[in-house]
Structure 1
Amino acid sequence: MSKTSKTAASAQIKRKHSDLKEKVNYHNERYHTHDKPEISDYDFDQLFSELLKLEEEYSGLDLTDSPSQRVGGDAIAAFKKMDHRLPMISLANSYNEEDIKEFNARIKKFLRNDKDVEYFAELKLDGLSMELVYEDGQLVRALTRGDGVTGEDVTHNVKTIKSIPLKISHKKLLEVRGEVLIDKKDFVEMNQAYEEAGQMVFANPRNAAAGTIRQLDPKIAASRPLKFFAYALGAYEGIIFDSQKDIEEKLAALKFPIIDRKFTECTSSEEELIEYYHRINQHRAQLPFDIDGIVIKVNSLSLQDDLGMVARSPRWATAVKFQPEQAQTVIENIVVQVGRTGALTPVAVMKPVKVGGVTITNATLHNQDEIDRKDVRIGDTVIVQRAGDVIPEVVQVILDKRPKNSEAFLIPTNCPTCGTKASKEPEEAVLRCQNPFCKSILIGSLIHFVSRRAMNMEKVGDKLIEAFVELELVQNFSDLYKLTDKDIQKLERQGEKSIQNILNSIEKSRQTTLARFIYALGIRFVGEQTAKLLADHYGTIENFMKTEAEELEKVPEIGEKVSATILKWLHDKRMQSEVKTLAKYMTFEAPKRNLEGKLTGMSFLVTGTLPVKRDVAHEKIEENGGKLLSGVSAKLSYLIVGEDPGSKADKAQSVGVKIISWEEFLELLK
């Protein structure tokens, strides 16, 4: 945070500052660690703003544990390597319930004890291992695991994680170990934002967390939704622990985030450990974050001491992993597909293989940078998985099985469909075909145009669009409205009733809104909410088509980059002609939004789970004159949050947007 302090802080100001820090840290913990906020987001923002203002105005204040340090400071030149006081050991791995039985038998045999041993079982988080070092109650260092003996100092990034306390009540040495990760929901939102901006996307949440922690600029870490969960110790002084369960309870008392106790098990029963393993495996898809197994530890720390180590692994603990949702297959070909925005996307065509009960034949390779990073080639034997249990991806190449005559794959610099020269936008990783009438772009654009949220031609499906284009019945959007029953009879298996349904569906779509029409045009960066904002601002398609940059950037969410993309589309003479032709077929309904309602002049974004359905919330906003935005920016008036709001709440807080609950929103209407 930049400092422009004018006045030295008095004792009274220091007391006020200390009180504000304590309040903000307390409510941060309730929100980020326990998911049980006690005040509204708006009230929290007021507290935080007051704290920032105080720190701007007065020098000499103690900032070591101030929440203001979460925004990220100056970038560093490089990472320093530092030794751990105690090695960060790895666990022995096993993969089934028989291994649990064998582990229990080994423990009893070593202890020469026929009695049941109590175990503590917890989730094996799939993130980045981290050690937090506290001295005199202050977080002084954060180290990655590294090779177990030496880690990298990433304190500058870890301090931006809101769930990690910067200051604790224990005033002697305490090293807390745990995992840095990103929730699945936050990961999807983050990747969607990067993809829309033409930036590289992450393969999975673990890679995203690890990549973020290794950034030299802490502002990048501050902008990403990192979380931390504590579960173990390094060196410590002046505090006594007697069991694994005791460790978690005392760490929780010191305000460290720990995994919800409903996901842990403390038992002496081998059968209950096995049941826990199967239960967690069965429900892992529903967990908010990725795990790859469970960890079983002897609960008593004194028994752990008795059991000691085997090589570099503790004898008293084991990781029982789940069978990976992965498989081996062969890449038979790499084809380049062209999407409606012209993006050239390489796709691996693979020998069919079952992963997690689903047969996989294709996997996206994203772009040339991704192909180069993984060195994927035609003929390679690869490991594939379903990322997030949904999207097929190539994890790695098995180089030992690579054919001797293999060659590196390069995406063609010309569009594979129309032959037009492809190019990259500045700061983008994706090659794009620049021909708006390329057949592949045309098919993708038409599929978008007729979709439910656009022109809503419900009887015109993807296969029908492809057939229209192949037979050259449709070469642009307006050709859909020129189709006759004789035209459609040229297609195979189209009966009289089916043809009439198609024509009725096209005819019905002519009655639409300006917002739907603008969205249907498929202009890059113009989603549903942006289309509504444009429709509200311009009122007619004619006004929109003749706009210039200065006027366009007055619209919420339209910045310089989006403005330039829209104007490039609008200034294309072929597009201008097409829109004029299309407009002749359209009857535009008046917008349902009340332009003189109580929310006129205000903009809103909804995130998280509300007491009402999302569509109901949107209608409530628009019928009272409010505008809906699709992302967080300084132009946003209010972010309405429900349960599990994700990263949008953090971003809103960082740019000073007011955050309110659904109940507080309803108060605005009174």
Structure 2
Amino acid sequence: MDRQQAENRFAELRKQLQYHAHRYYVLDNPEISDTEYDRLFRELLDLEAQFPELITPDSPSQRVGGEPLSAFAEAVHNLPMLSLDNVFAAEELDAFAEKVQRRLNSSAQLTWTAEPKIDGLAVELIYEHGLLIEGSTRGNGLVGENITANLRTVRNIPLCLDAAAPERLAVRGEVFLPRGDFAELNRQRTEQGQQLFANPRNAAAGSLRQLDSKITAARPLSCCIYGIADLRSVPCQNMAELFVWLEQMHLPVNPLVKICHNLAEIKAHYLRLQQLRHELDYAIDGMVVKVNEFNLQEQLGNTARAPRWAVAWKFAAAEAEAVIIGIEYQVGRTGAITPVAILEPVHIDGTVVRRATLHNQEEISRKGLMIGDTVLVRRAGDVIPEVVKPLLERRSGQEQAVVFPQQCPICEQALHRPEGEAVTRCGNLHCPAQKLQRIIWFAGKSGLDIDGLGLKNVEKLVEAGLIKDIPDLFALPKEQLAALEGWGEKSAEKLLQAIEKAKQTSLARLLAALGIRHIGKTTAELLAEHFVDLNQLLQTTPEHLLTVHGIGEQTASSLCDYFAAQENRELLARLLDLGLTIHSGLKKTAVSGQLSGLVFLFTGTLSHLTRAEAEQRVKQLGGEAVSSLSKKVTHLVAGEKAGSKLQKAAELGIRVLDEQEFLQIIGE
């Protein structure tokens, strides 16, 4: 390639990478796969290595992330938040290690840390005097978005640290959405006709960039801390000591971090993480390798965009091309009709994939999919693979349009699509497919998690006529169970013991198990925190449900409609008659602190904190925050335009505080 060709290709690559980086980092809506982006980026790096005079300050190789969104205030990083260089093979890791040794001018044995590379959104958390005062995204590495209010809703991020924390501490980490919650979030968005998140990373980024922190709070985000900004701010000499110290500060760190004493140990841990990859409840796309000793990290320094003492060893792509040879239509537990692409078998990440979800009719239309299309298929752990997009340049003209059915493929009832929804449904509650899916959900991991009652065994029991509805699970006859093909007395006894154990459950788990629309694990836990028992929940109203933090109109309406149906009340009554025992509320871990034993209720508008932030402060300091007034409330915090609760609190002898008094109590 001559100089002119190099200049032209460099300009083209720079334009493409800047465009795709903006869609990935800023809009959270990528158009190409991570693998394709990495390929383009590596081509740019190779070109710059061959023609270093082409490197400009605005080259993607000199930048990190994307520009911050104007919707948020800017947050300036005192020390840049850098990205990581990538390697894709063991030989490339060897070359990286050799380069590190040359730069150190030493042949001495190095120690390393190796940890999962979580596929989430990079954030910085700043603590002063132990209190979280600011949280931000990476942005362009120098300036990010101030998303403090949203990060305070992430449940495992502590709002205050141990008393031994330094005066100022800036930690860096990754916020992510667990796989199961990602699948549930996309299911809800499918039903609501909203555009689906491409992957858990985009879902986490989209959740953190909400202008309303209540939306963020309703999503079960988690955080994992992997480092600090200023090495001199902590009493540690290396990464190994740092991870121990971070745990002592009650900051969340990954349990799969490993200290490695040579490259062989690093490679062994990479293979282990590769095997664990799809068993983890969070997405990882590789492993991060770092020089362990801080003094050596400082000696090695950084490039404009990445440290010279760390590298990301990426996994092979979990994507492939496949041909759609047909479409099947599945009926879900709520009657939702889900189209599934039948594919010519293709290997993705060590697994043969023959089916991929198409979500709904709108998604098929939006992507412009046809039978016979060659498509890009993505596999993400246990979640069923999905069709990302058709490869239009591969069309031959023989492709066929997708015609959505007008009748349920199982019960043949007419299908309908409720106004304002993207999902077509079978309205027949007695549809055999719906009943089967409700039973599978109830017994599965999202429900009571009955050992031995996976999908195949439930299908066998239904086919044998031993189960027709959910309560039948609790009345299985041992003799008939043992007589089933492939079973026996031991298998039957083991299953019956597991069922008996599952009869002891919590209100949150039961609510999630019933498969009520819009009631997933997180929402069920919110309800169980608020309501004493099932009876109280059965008697509630949509108006009262809307006072529960995190519960919206759709959820309130869906829950009340479910409990209003006579057949659902009869189902619950039968479960209770068969021995189901519900423990009231959630089992909460006791938190000791300066507010232990105190119960706070907030009313009116607060100016310094949002109500969600104030409630989290109380919980973090060992107190309890409630949403309704009762005799157990010890403190009522009244903001502007406080209503009738003030008078009632006075009648009950409850101490009333203004916002400034509350802030003094919590030390702000």
| TM class by smaller structure | 0.5 to 0.7
Alignment of 1:167-186 (within 5 A): 167-168=160-161, 169=163, 170=165, 172-184=167-179
Aligned-partner Cα distance in 2 for 1:450–1:553: 22
Aligned-partner Cα distance in 1 for 2:349–2:625: 40
1:334–1:346 contact (8 Å) kept in structure 2: yes
Moved more, 175-184 or 333-342: 333-342
Return closer, same or farther for 1:457/1:406 CA change in 2, 3 Å cut-off: closer
Alpha-carbon deviations, 1:224-273, whole Å to 9, x = none?
A: 2222111122357755653223433343343322222xx22223312222
Q: CA deviation at 1:319?
A: 0.9
| Partner amino acid, structure 2, of 1:259 | N
Aligned-partner Cα distance in 1 for 2:361–2:251: 42
2:152 to 139, 145, 159: 159
Aligned-partner Cα distance in 2 for 1:552–1:638: 11
| 1:126 pairs with 2:123 | no
Q: What SS does structure 1 have at the residue aligned with 2:97?
A: helix
| 1:315 pairs with 2:311 | no
| Partner amino acid, structure 1, of 2:585 | Y
| Partner amino acid, structure 1, of 2:114 | A
Alignment of 1:619-630 (within 5 A): 619=579, 622=580, 626=581, 628=582
1:256 to 241, 251, 255: 251
Return closer, same or farther for 1:134/1:527 CA change in 2, 3 Å cut-off: closer
Q: CA deviation at 1:447?
A: 5.4
Q: CA deviation at 1:102?
A: 2.0
Q: CA deviation at 1:115?
A: 1.9
Q: CA deviation at 1:158?
A: 0.2
2:585 to 638, 641, 647: 638
Alpha-carbon deviations, 1:422-470, whole Å to 9, x = none?
A: 5433564312245x49xxx85525756999989x9967639x9xxxxxx
Q: CA deviation at 1:79?
A: 2.5
Counterpart position of 2:479? none
Return closer, same or farther for 1:229/1:450 CA change in 2, 3 Å cut-off: closer
Return closer, same or farther for 1:314/1:398 CA change in 2, 3 Å cut-off: farther
TM-score (normalised: structure 2): 0.54
Q: What SS does structure 1 have at the residue aligned with 2:273?
A: helix
Aligned-partner Cα distance in 2 for 1:119–1:343: 50
1:397 to 389, 412, 420: 389
Seq. identity, %: 36
Alignment of 1:491-530 (within 5 A): none
Aligned-partner Cα distance in 1 for 2:82–2:537: 57
1:347 to 340, 347, 371: 340
Alpha-carbon deviations, 1:105-153, whole Å to 9, x = none?
A: 2211232222222222222112221111234544232111233343222
Counterpart position of 1:102? 95
Alignment of 1:225-264 (within 5 A): 225-235=220-230, 239=234, 241-260=236-255, 263-264=256-257
| 1:388 pairs with 2:381 | yes
Aligned-partner Cα distance in 1 for 2:438–2:88: 49
TM-score (normalised: structure 1): 0.54
Alpha-carbon deviations, 1:340-381, whole Å to 9, x = none?
A: 754232222322212244322221111245446656554544
Counterpart position of 1:574? none
Counterpart position of 1:631? none
Counterpart position of 1:54? none
Aligned-partner Cα distance in 2 for 1:234–1:527: 43
| Partner amino acid, structure 1, of 2:463 | G
Q: What SS does structure 2 have at the residue aligned with 1:275?
A: helix
2:77 to 65, 69, 84: 84
| Partner amino acid, structure 2, of 1:117 | L
Return closer, same or farther for 1:271/1:637 CA change in 2, 3 Å cut-off: closer
1:358 to 351, 354, 361: 351
Give the structure with higher Rg (CA). 1
2:320 to 311, 314, 327: 327
1:175–1:236 contact (8 Å) kept in structure 2: no
1:444 to 408, 433, 446: 433
| 1:143 pairs with 2:140 | no
Q: What SS does structure 2 have at the residue aligned with 1:285?
A: coil
Aligned-partner Cα distance in 2 for 1:567–1:114: 74
Aligned-partner Cα distance in 2 for 1:449–1:272: 46
Return closer, same or farther for 1:358/1:286 CA change in 2, 3 Å cut-off: closer
2:341–2:356 contact (8 Å) kept in structure 1: yes
Q: CA deviation at 1:180?
A: 0.8
Q: What SS does structure 2 have at the residue aligned with 1:639?
A: coil
Q: What SS does structure 2 have at the residue aligned with 1:109?
A: helix
Q: CA deviation at 1:103?
A: 1.8
| Partner amino acid, structure 2, of 1:403 | R
Q: What SS does structure 1 have at the residue aligned with 2:116?
A: strand
Counterpart position of 2:650? none
1:115 to 108, 111, 121: 108
Counterpart position of 1:24? none
Aligned-partner Cα distance in 2 for 1:350–1:553: 45
Alpha-carbon deviations, 1:44-66, whole Å to 9, x = none?
A: xxxxxxxxxxxxxxxxxxxxxxx
Aligned-partner Cα distance in 1 for 2:563–2:273: 48
Aligned-partner Cα distance in 1 for 2:201–2:426: 33
Counterpart position of 1:278? 271
Q: What SS does structure 2 have at the residue aligned with 1:314?
A: coil
Return closer, same or farther for 1:142/1:371 CA change in 2, 3 Å cut-off: farther
2:367–2:390 contact (8 Å) kept in structure 1: no
| 1:561 pairs with 2:558 | yes
**Structure 2: where are the runs of 5+ without partners?**
1-68, 444-452, 470-482, 485-510, 517-535, 546-554, 590-618, 629-668
Alpha-carbon deviations, 1:493-519, whole Å to 9, x = none?
A: xxxx99xxxxxxxxxxxxxxxxxxxxx
| Partner amino acid, structure 2, of 1:141 | E
1:126–1:206 contact (8 Å) kept in structure 2: yes
Q: What SS does structure 1 have at the residue aligned with 2:229?
A: strand
Q: CA deviation at 1:640?
A: 4.9
Alpha-carbon deviations, 1:134-179, whole Å to 9, x = none?
A: 3454423211123334322211110112322323454544321101
Aligned-partner Cα distance in 2 for 1:192–1:315: 41
1:298 to 272, 291, 299: 291
Counterpart position of 1:491? none
| 1:461 pairs with 2:463 | yes
Cα root mean square deviation, aligned: 5.0
| Partner amino acid, structure 2, of 1:182 | L
1:220 to 206, 209, 215: 215
Aligned-partner Cα distance in 2 for 1:156–1:449: 38
Aligned-partner Cα distance in 2 for 1:335–1:177: 45
